[in-house]
Structure 1
């Protein structure tokens, strides 16, 4: 049987105020065309379908129409919630989407209660088991382990052990006469960040080793890290990555969907199919004159300009008029202390909220790991989008 693995669409994502919905529509049309051209049995979407837990009606319309078009071609559509999605909303619409042939999972559940999606491939009549694991925040990993794996509260340990306990339950129904797949939205140890992930839900406390995935799995379809990559493990573990550059940190990534062919007794064969519809993001460095002189090379790329000269009044207008696709202007650190930088960012490395809070605590003489842990918990509660089960 054949299926597509994709993830991290982030539909509704804007960049520096620029609406990208038309661009995102082109990406989804290309993914749909690839699915149809390759006559796949299924499309697996491993989370972060939307950029926000409350997507706009336009973003929802685009996603729904894409999923319906796939389902209308008798393609099995299986989708899980990521940390940017609203799992509770996914669950609310599940009875309706199931009727349409679109199978969405907002919360983790036991294998015996829908935690494994089963179907027969239309092309080969092979049985397929897909163990589905939507994103788990640290707090709700505890709840999931208690409910799904019957892990006693007093035995609850690190996040990776909780995920292992849940996966042990979800993969028990795997059988040798079926194609067995795990689909999850998480950070795998050794994975390389793509550049646009939410830092608070990608830190070491959220890492799980690839050893949590069973050797019986023909393929592990992961979402969350935006870079296309293979994680060494006893079974094939792959991130498809985002199909377009979500942020400037991803400007050098390769954007693909993974076409996977698998049979019960045969190792999975993975083919990367490039996605070309998304607009390129590009960081360009130089003086104002050099940046303007290079405009013939930029095409329709979205630009982040790093200016290597002192800022002056009117510098934004001088750059934006000839370079209308500029989304951000930064002053190189060597020139940050000279001239006026009003309204222009200084090109300094980004710092996470946890790092900024730690620096603040240090500046006022507070050195207590419990305070930092409470901040991490509060930030996790505020940024997570999986509602309470």
Structure 2
């Protein structure tokens, strides 16, 4: 059986006021191309379809179109909600609508007989059993344990133990003659951040150990961490990562989807396939002249520029004029204005406003004669030369 594993699309993402949906269209179209070219039997989308819980009509249209295209040619599709998604929207709207097209959608934690475990027969007559667990917040984990496990669930029970118990219940239907898959949106111990995840839902007690998945699992398809990575455990485990770099912390990530092959008698073999269509991200560091020179080699990449010189009026505008793809301009920490006290208190008595303004600029290590001249001109205009 051949499986395409993808996750963390984050459709509707805006980076530093730059919408990414014009890139996300080609990226998701390339995922459909990979599914077709590789002739996969099953597509697993492991959460975070959208960037926000209130996706725009354009974002929803793109996701809907992509999922329907993945279903073409009789491919099976399993989709679950991540922490960025509106889980009720996915469960109450997408699940019934897309379910009519044969797409299996899980927006909120469900018992095995209510959609939490899906048995799928492929075009070739192979069988897969998929245990699907959407993202669980601490609050939802307590409620899910009470509803799914019929457990009163003491609130001090460990989050990881609840997840383990729920996964165990969902995997109880695994059989010896099927390809047994787990898909969830979670943080595994040992996983490496991709750079753009929500830290509060990546740490702070949200980590679960790899042995959460039983040894009867042929493959665990994960979402949430944006970097492609395989994690050692009792079964083959992998994050597909995001199919495009979402933030500047992810500029070195590989944009891939994972093609996975498994049989009931063999462990899964995982192969990353590059995904095209997204614009690269790049960080340039140096003086204005240095970053302008380096920017000539970055093609159509969106840029973050970190200047290693003191701030001056209009400096960011100069960067953007010479490097139009710049989304963010920063001053390197070593050259930023100092706000701490120097311990020296200067009297204001008998000193002119221009002298005081010069002190202000000096304290913040801003060296730009134009600012002093502009201040003097404004002062002259406002006081009538008095």
Distance in 1 between residues matched to 2:323 and 2:195, nearest whole Å: 24
Please report how far the alpha carbon of residue 220 of structure 1 lies from its aligned counterpart in structure 2 after TM superposition.
Answer: 0.2
What is the 5 A alignment of 1:221-260? 221-260=221-260
Go from structure 1 to structure 2 and tell me whether the alpha carbon gap of 1:295 and 1:155 turns closer, same or farther (over 3 Å shift).
closer
Go from structure 1 to structure 2 and tell me whether the alpha carbon gap of 1:156 and 1:144 turns closer, same or farther (over 3 Å shift).
farther
Please report how far the alpha carbon of residue 334 of structure 1 lies from its aligned counterpart in structure 2 after TM superposition.
Answer: 1.2
Q: Where does residue 179 of structure 1 map in the other structure?
A: 179
Q: Does 1:82 align with 2:82?
A: yes
How many residue pairs are counted as aligned between the two chains? 340
Q: Retained in 2: the 8 A contact 1:142–1:156?
A: no
Distance in 1 between residues matched to 2:159 and 2:222, nearest whole Å: 17
What is the 5 A alignment of 1:1-389? 1-93=1-93, 94-123=95-124, 125-154=125-154, 157-337=157-337, 338-339=365-366
Distance in 1 between residues matched to 2:298 and 2:237, nearest whole Å: 36
Q: Retained in 2: the 8 A contact 1:121–1:127?
A: yes
Distance in 2 between residues matched to 1:295 and 1:140, nearest whole Å: 46
Note the residue ranges of structure 2 that are not aligned, 5 or more in a row: 338-364, 369-386
Distance in 2 between residues matched to 1:278 and 1:233, nearest whole Å: 32
Distance in 2 between residues matched to 1:68 and 1:313, nearest whole Å: 51
Q: Where does residue 361 of structure 1 map in the other structure?
A: none
TM score, norm. by length of structure 2? 0.86
Please report how far the alpha carbon of residue 154 of structure 1 lies from its aligned counterpart in structure 2 after TM superposition.
Answer: 3.8
Go from structure 1 to structure 2 and tell me whether the alpha carbon gap of 1:288 and 1:126 turns closer, same or farther (over 3 Å shift).
same
Distance in 1 between residues matched to 2:181 and 2:46, nearest whole Å: 12
Q: Where does residue 372 of structure 1 map in the other structure?
A: none
Secondary structure at 2:132's aligned position in 1?
A: strand
Distance in 2 between residues matched to 1:329 and 1:155, nearest whole Å: 45
For the aligned residue pairs, the C-alpha RMSD in angstroms reads 1.3
- Bigger CA radius of gyration: 2
1:242-282 residue CA offsets vs partner (Å, 9 max, x unmatched)? 11101001011112100001111111111110113211110
Go from structure 1 to structure 2 and tell me whether the alpha carbon gap of 1:161 and 1:294 turns closer, same or farther (over 3 Å shift).
same
Q: Retained in 2: the 8 A contact 1:179–1:263?
A: yes
Distance in 2 between residues matched to 1:206 and 1:40, nearest whole Å: 32
Distance in 2 between residues matched to 1:152 and 1:21, nearest whole Å: 44
1:304-352 residue CA offsets vs partner (Å, 9 max, x unmatched)? 00001111001111111111100000100111022289xxxxxxxxxxx
Distance in 2 between residues matched to 1:317 and 1:191, nearest whole Å: 39
1:133-158 residue CA offsets vs partner (Å, 9 max, x unmatched)? 00010011011111112223348611
Distance in 1 between residues matched to 2:60 and 2:104, nearest whole Å: 16
Distance in 2 between residues matched to 1:22 and 1:51, nearest whole Å: 14
Q: Where does residue 380 of structure 2 map in the other structure?
A: none
1:75-101 residue CA offsets vs partner (Å, 9 max, x unmatched)? 111100000001101111211210112
Note the residue ranges of structure 1 that are not aligned, 5 or more in a row: 342-389
Q: Retained in 2: the 8 A contact 1:156–1:162?
A: no
